[in-house]
Structure 1
Amino acid sequence: MSAYVLVEVEVTDPATYEDYKQLTPASLVPYDGKFVVRGGAYETLEGDWKPQRIVLLQFPSVERAKAWWNSPEYARAKAIRQRAANTKMLVLEGFEG
């Protein structure tokens, strides 16, 4: 079943975050991950949610998403992101009904 990683990002160091953005795509490939949303415009429809940046990744399963997040391929990019941004991240099981 598909899984999604939903990320809310507050970039605190834009120059360093650019390095993260360059490294991340290649780290997704071995885990069959892909970007569904990568920044871009948004509009809040309900509530008081004003994220600076939203990213949505898709994986074939929760296990593959978690394997990517814990992977050596993503480790360098993750360390850069953790220095350059405040992040909230969820892994979500998709619905196939």
Structure 2
Amino acid sequence: MTAYAIASLHPTAVLHEEVFQYMERVQATLDPFDGRFLIHGAPERDVKEGEWPASVVLVGFPSMDHARRWYDSADYQELIPLRARHMAGDLQLIDGVAPGYDPATTAAALRAASHGTA
């Protein structure tokens, strides 16, 4: 099942040279784990609800195992400080949904569980 690395980053007014170095080198850390950028910064967006002051990054991986091995890899761990020293943010690794996922089925299971009929 596809997994994702989702980051919400708050860049400073002036990007530091280390952030550029991070950006130049990060793809090489993704390649061995078949990671690819799906969203990077989202320069054009239309916020429909709430506030979204952060920059969004979404990277897809073939599986959660690939995503975890990428994040824990020595090559990526070496890069993290280049970004983290200059951009506050949050990052999570999360599983996608299986093919054929139906939110109505999830709603039914949650409804049954909330009524004690699971």
Q: What TM-score do you get using the length of structure 2 for normalisation?
A: 0.75
Whose strand fraction is larger, Structure 1's or Structure 2's? 1
In structure 1, the residue matched to 2:15 is: 14
- Between the aligned partners of 1:45 and 1:62, the Cα distance in structure 2 is 30
Tell me if structure 1 keeps the 8 A contact 2:10–2:53: no
Q: Which consecutive unaligned segments of at least 5 residues does structure 2 have?
A: 101-118
Higher Cα Rg, which structure: 2
- Between the aligned partners of 1:21 and 1:54, the Cα distance in structure 2 is 14
- Between the aligned partners of 2:69 and 2:88, the Cα distance in structure 1 is 22
Identity of matched residues, %: 29
* 2:68 aligned with 1:66: yes
Equivalent residues, number: 96
Q: Secondary structure at the match of 2:97?
A: coil
Q: Which consecutive unaligned segments of at least 5 residues does structure 1 have?
A: none
Higher relative contact order (CA 8 A, sep 6+): 1
Q: What TM-score do you get using the length of structure 1 for normalisation?
A: 0.89
